[in-house]
Amino acid sequence: MGTRRKLIVVANRAPVSYARSAEGERTTIRGGGGLVTALRSLVTHHDVTWIASAMSDEDRAVSTERAGDAFEETSREGAPYRLRLVAHDTSAYDWYYNVVANPTLWFLQHYMWGLPYAPDLDLGLHNAWFNGYLPVNEGFARATIAELDRDPAAAVFFHDYHLYLAPKLVREQRPDALLAHFIHIPWPERDYWHVLPEHLRRAVHEGVLANDILGFHTARWKRNFLRTCEDVLGAEVDYAESTVVHDGRRTLVTSHPLSIEPQEFEDLRDDAAVLEEERVIVERRPEFLILRVDRTDPSKNVVRGFRAFALFLDMHPEMHGRVTLLALLDPSRQDVPEYSEYLAAIQREARAVNDRFQSEGWTPIDLQVGDNFTQSVAAYKQYDVLLVNAVFDGLNLVSKEASLVNERDGVLILSENTGAHEELGEWALTVNPFDVYGQAQAINEALTMDADERRRRLEAIRGSVRRHDLAAWLAAQLADLDRVGVAFAHGDERSSH
Ligand code: F6P
C-alpha cells in the first residue's frame, strides 16, 4: 500500500464500542457494518486518528476519562490507531441520529416515502435539525479542527450522511485543509431533494461541497449529485471532468464501488465456528435453500421478498416441501419507530406465509432475527439462490461476500437499484424491487438454471470481486487525494491548492 499517510477518519460509528460486563469489567465490542469493516484496513497501513460519536454509556465514560481527547486503541488485526470519542449532548444525539440522519436523510436518499402521506416535516424536524444535527456536526468539526491543529499535514476523510454539515464548518476555520468525504448511500434525483425545504437541501449541498473530494459507490449516484448541485445551488458543473465549482471552490466528484477483502472470507470458510454453524444449516436444509442476509431496514425490501416467495410457491406447488427461504436479519435502529414497525411487518409476513404453506417437517420461511456474522458466513456457503431485492441500496456488500464463499454455484438475484448492480448485474438475475411477480419468476429461473450456467455466472462474479477488492478501493481513495494536487506523504509539508 506504499507510503504511510496521516489520516483523520471522521465517521459516526467507531471501530470499537465499550460496555460493562456483569462483573463490572470494561469490555470492548468490535464494531460491525460495511463502513467500519472497510476502513479497518486503513488503520493497519496508515497513521489513523478516528473521530466517532460516543454511542454507548461506557463510550461516554471512556470519553470523559480522556477529557474528550484521542487515546491509543488497537484494531482487531493488532494495529495501533488513535481514537477520539465525541460525547455529544444526549438529546442532541437522539435528534441527530433518530430524527434527522435515519428517518429523514436515509429515507430521502433511499426514496422511502409515499409522498401523499409522508414526510411531515413539522416543528420536530426543524428542532431536531438545529438542536441535534447541527450541534453534533459542530462537535465533529471541533474535534476535527483540534486534530488538524495537532497535525496540519493530515488529510480528513469524512464518511456518510451523518456528517453533511461538518466539512463546511471545518473549511471555514481551516481553509487549506485537505478534506475528502465518501457517501455510502444512494444520491437521489434532483426533484426528490425538493421534499426537503430549500434551506435544508442547500445546507446539505453546501456542506459537502466544502470538501476537495466527494466519493460515491457508483456512476449513477455521482451523476445524480452533479445534477442536484446545478439544481439546488446553481453551481457550475463540468460533467467531463466530474467537478463542481461553488463559492469559489472546486470539488472533484468520484465513483469507486466499495469492496471486501477476499482473503478474509477465504479464511473464514474453514473457520471452526463457521463449520459448526454450517453443520446446523446442512442438517436442517431441504433440497433448495434461498438466502437473504440483511439489516431489518425498510430499504432492504424484506416484506416484498417474502411476498414474492409466497407467489412463487403459489405458482409452483411441485416445489412445496423442497425449498426454504432462510432470512438472517440483523435488527437495526430500533429506536426509530419506522424501523421497529418494519421489523414487526417482517415477522407478520413470515408468519402469514408459513401459516399458509407449511406442512409437517417443512417451514417455508426460516426467519432468524439476530446479529450472527459466523452464521451468515456459514449460510453464504450453502445457498442455491441469494436474494438481494433492496428498494435502493448504496452498494450491498452481502452480494460480494456471499458470492465469494458459496459452494453450491448459487445464483444471485439482484435489485437493479443496488450500487452492486453496476458491477455484478450482467451475471445476476436482475429484478425490479417493486415487481413481486418478476421476483417470483426470478426465483423459479434461479432454481431451475442449468448447472454450467450457474457456475459460469458465479465464477464471473468472483473474478470481478477479486479484481476490484477492498485494497483497490482504498488505493483509489488515496490516489484521488493525490490527484487534487496535494502531497501529504508522511512528514511532508502540504501545499495549499
Ligand atoms: O450503508 C451505510 C451504513 O453506514 C453502513 O456502512 C453500515 O453498515 C450501516 O449504514 C449501519 O448503520 P448504523 O451505524 O446506523 O448501524
DSSP codes joined into one string, 428-444: SEEE-TT-HHHHHHHHH
In this predicted structure, the answer to whether residue 418 has a pLDDT above a threshold of 80 is yes
**pLDDT over 90, % of the chain:** 92
| 276 and 359 fall within a common domain | yes
Does position 489 have pLDDT exceeding 90, yes or no? no
Band (35; pLDDT cuts 50, 70, 90): confident
Closest CA to 187 of 366, 393, 1: 393
415 half-sphere exposure, CB direction, 13 A CA radius = 25
According to DSSP, the residues that pair with 388 across neighbouring strands are 414
Distance 34 CA to ligand 1 centre (A): 6
Which residues, including other chains, have CB under 8 Å from residue 161's CB and lie 6 or more apart? 101, 105, 106, 109, 183, 184, 185
Q: How far apart are CA 333 and CA 342, in angstroms?
A: 11
C-alpha span between 352 and 198 (Å, rounded): 43
Taking residues 162-184, report their average pLDDT.
98
User: 300: Cβ below 6 Å to ligand 1?
Assistant: no
| Same domain flag for 384 and 316 | yes
Which alpha helices (DSSP H) does 66-165 contain, by range?
90-95, 107-109, 123-128, 134-150
Question: Do residues 277 and 192 both lie within one domain?
Answer: no
Ligand 1 close to Cβ of residue 34 (< 6 A): yes
Residue from 98, 295, 376, 392 to probe ligand 1 pocket by mutation (most atoms less than 8 Å from CB): 295
Q: pLDDT tens digits for 115-167?
A: 999 999 999 999 999 999 999 999 999 999 999 999 999 999 999 999 999 99
How would residue 487 be classed by pLDDT, with cut points 50, 70 and 90? very low
Per-residue pLDDT tens over the stretch 345-394: 999 999 999 999 999 999 999 999 999 999 999 999 999 999 999 999 99
Decide: 394 in ligand 1 pocket, CB within 6 A.
yes
Confidence band (pLDDT; 50, 70, 90) for 495? very low
Domain range for 175: 6-258+472-489
Whether 103 is in the pocket of ligand 1, judged by its Cβ within 6 Å, is: no
Mean pLDDT value of segment 162-183:
98
C-beta 217 within 6 A of ligand 1: no
Calculate the average pLDDT of the chain. 95
Distances in whole angstroms, Cα of residue 89 to Cα of each of 66, 134, 136: 17, 12, 8
Provide mean pLDDT across the span 431-460.
Answer: 98
Residue 59 placed within a domain: yes
Residue 184 Cβ < 6 Å to ligand 1: yes
| 90 plus 105 within the same structural domain | yes
- Report how far residue 94's alpha carbon sits from residue 409's, in angstroms, rounded to the nearest whole number: 44
Residue 420, C-alpha cell as written in the block: 452492486
Whether ligand 1 lies within 6 angstroms of the CB of 333 is answered as yes
For residue 3, what is its C-alpha cell? 507510503
Alpha helices in 229-336 (DSSP H): 262-268, 272-284, 302-315
Decide if 496 is inside a domain. no
Alpha carbon of 477 to ligand 1 centroid (Å): 19
* Cβ pair 392, 351 in contact under 8 A: no
Atom of ligand 1 nearest to the CA of 11: 4
Reported as a pLDDT band with limits 50, 70 and 90, residue 199 is: very high
**447 and 481 together in one domain:** no
**What is the position in ligand 1's atom list of the atom closest to the CA of 159?**
4
Specify whether 74 is located in the same domain as 140: yes
Same structural domain, 269 and 243: no
Residues 51-71 have a mean pLDDT of 97
- Nearest CA residue ID for atom 10, ligand 1: 33
Do residue 296 and residue 226 come from a single domain?
Answer: no
- pLDDT given for residue 2 in this prediction: 66
- The pLDDT-based confidence of 497 (bands split at 50, 70, 90) is very low
Whether 159 lines ligand 1, by a CB cut-off of 6 Å, is no
Can you tell me which residue has the cell 423459479? 444
Ligand 1 mutation pick, 9, 16, 30, 35, max ligand atoms within 8 A of CB:
35
Residues 153 and 289 in one domain: no
Q: How far apart are CA 96 and CA 335, in angstroms?
A: 12
Atom of ligand 1 nearest to the CA of 32: 8
Q: What is the DSSP letter of 196?
A: S
Q: Flag whether pLDDT at 22 surpasses 60.
A: yes
Our CA angle for 162, 168, 174, nearest 5°, is 125
**Preceding peptide of 167 cis, ω within 30°:** no
According to DSSP, residue 248 is labeled: T
**Placement of cell 435544508 in the chain:** 200
Q: Is the dihedral of CA 476, 477, 482, 487 positive or negative?
A: negative
| Mean predicted confidence (pLDDT) in 314-342 | 97
Would you give the DSSP letter of residue 495? P
Residue nearest to atom 9 of ligand 1 (CA): 33
Per-residue pLDDT at 293:
98
Residue 485: per-residue pLDDT: 57
Quote the ligand 1 centre to 362 CA distance (angstroms): 34
199 & 331 share domain: no
Q: How far is the CA of 85 from the centre of ligand 1 (A)?
A: 18
Compute the average pLDDT of residues 321-325.
Answer: 98
- CB within 8 A of 167, min separation 6: which ones? 158, 179, 181, 207, 208, 210, 211
Name which residue leads in pLDDT, 29 or 100.
Answer: 100
- Summarize the confidence of residues 242-253 as an average pLDDT: 96
DSSP letters, 315-365, are H-GGGTTTEEEEEEEE---TTSHHHHHHHHHHHHHHHHHHHHH-BTTB-SE
* Residue 6 contacts residue 486 (beta carbons within 8 Å): no
Q: Write the residue with the smallest CA distance to atom 11 of ligand 1.
A: 33
Q: Residue 176: CB partners within 8 Å, gap ≥ 6?
A: 494, 496
| C-alpha 492 – ligand 1 centre gap (Å) | 34
Q: Are residues 412 and 445 in the same domain?
A: yes
Q: Is the CB of 258 under 6 A from ligand 1?
A: no
Percent of the chain with pLDDT over 70: 97
CATH of the domain at 194: 3.40.50.2000
Domain shared by 222 and 282, yes or no = no
Global pTM? 0.95
Q: Look at ligand 1, atom 2, and give the residue with the nearest C-alpha.
A: 184
Split into its structural domains, the chain has a count of 2
